[in-house]
Chains A and B, each alone.
Chain A
Amino acid sequence: EVQLVESGGGLVQPGGSLRLSCAASGFTVSTNYMSWVRQAPGKGLEWVSIIYSGGSTYYADSVKGRFTISRDNSKNTLYLQMNSLRAEDTAVYYCARAYDSSGYYDYYFDYWGQGTLVTVSS
């Protein structure tokens, strides 16, 4: 059974840092595309970042240069390092497996974790 369990959320001051983790089971993180998607309180879904099986990484413009996605193959775990946090980064952060339907980086999200809340406030 596929499971994704996020952790690491919490309250942080503007300008601060936080690292989110997503422990996967039932499949291998390193051979799949893995992504972070966030949802601000009462709002819709926003794609944040992806790491491809080959290791390439991509980011939404809103977080580029501040967030870093990575993985630890030995722990089968995905990470999101968030620096220079802003109030507008407040959201529930979901990790999700991204399924490539075409082999050309055309992916949708077939499995999701339960999310972890990040609150940026002084």
Chain B
Amino acid sequence: EIVLTQSPGTLSLSPGERATLSCRASQSVSSSYLAWYQQKPGQAPRLLIYGASSRATGIPDRFSGSGSGTDFTLTISRLEPEDFAVYYCQQYGSSPKTFGQGTKLEIK
């Protein structure tokens, strides 16, 4: 089973700043099959990024994903008030499909 470790656990930033979230895998993620989700309190997760760098339908271009192998990054170029949430990465190149433990992005 691939273990995903997200860092930092909590990130405190202000609107307008740039956010960089990390997801590290215990072994290589095949074909960059890495997705990112956003979850707000009381809501279901929402798909942001798939294939490490492809934005899902309707996702603003301030969200971008990068990386390969074992190291992946989600970048939010300029934080909007609605971006403060918990973010999860998920690998889907091997079974079982696993999630990271999440990074909480909070307002500073």
Which residues of chain A (1-54) have a CB below 8 Å from chain B? 44-47
Given A101-B50, A101-B51: A110 in contact with B56 (beta carbons within 8 A): yes
Partner of A106, one of B31, B43, B98, B99: B31
* Residues of A in contact, count (CB < 8 Å): 22
Residues of B contacting A110 in the complex (Cβ-Cβ under 8 angstroms): 47, 50, 56
Q: Is A108 in contact with B50, judged by CB distance below 8 angstroms?
A: yes
Distance between Cα atoms of A105 and B95 in the complex (Å): 9
* B45 at interface by CB-CB < 8 Å: yes
Residues of A contacting B33 in the complex (Cβ-Cβ under 8 angstroms): 101-102, 106, 108
Residues of B contacting A113 in the complex (Cβ-Cβ under 8 angstroms): 44
| Residues of B in contact with A, size category | 20 to 34
From A94, which residue of chain B is reached at the shortest CB distance?
B44
Given A44-B88, A44-B99, A46-B99: A106 in contact with B44 (beta carbons within 8 A): no
Which residues of chain B (7-39) have a CB below 8 Å from chain A? 30-31, 33, 35, 37
Distance between Cα atoms of A74 and B2 in the complex (Å): 37
Tell me how far the C-beta of B26 lies from the nearest C-beta in chain A, rounded to whole angstroms: 16
Q: Is A106 in contact with B101, judged by CB distance below 8 angstroms?
A: no
Q: Is B99 in contact with A102, judged by CB distance below 8 angstroms?
A: no
Q: Is B35 in contact with A108, judged by CB distance below 8 angstroms?
A: yes
Residues of B within 8 A of A (CB): 30-31, 33, 35, 37, 43-47, 50-51, 56, 88, 90, 92-93, 95-102
| Apart from A106-B33, A110-B56: 16 A-B pairs, beta carbons within 8 A | A44-B88, A44-B99, A44-B100, A45-B102, A101-B33, A101-B50, A101-B51, A107-B97, A108-B35, A108-B47, A108-B97, A109-B37, A109-B90, A110-B47, A110-B50, A112-B46
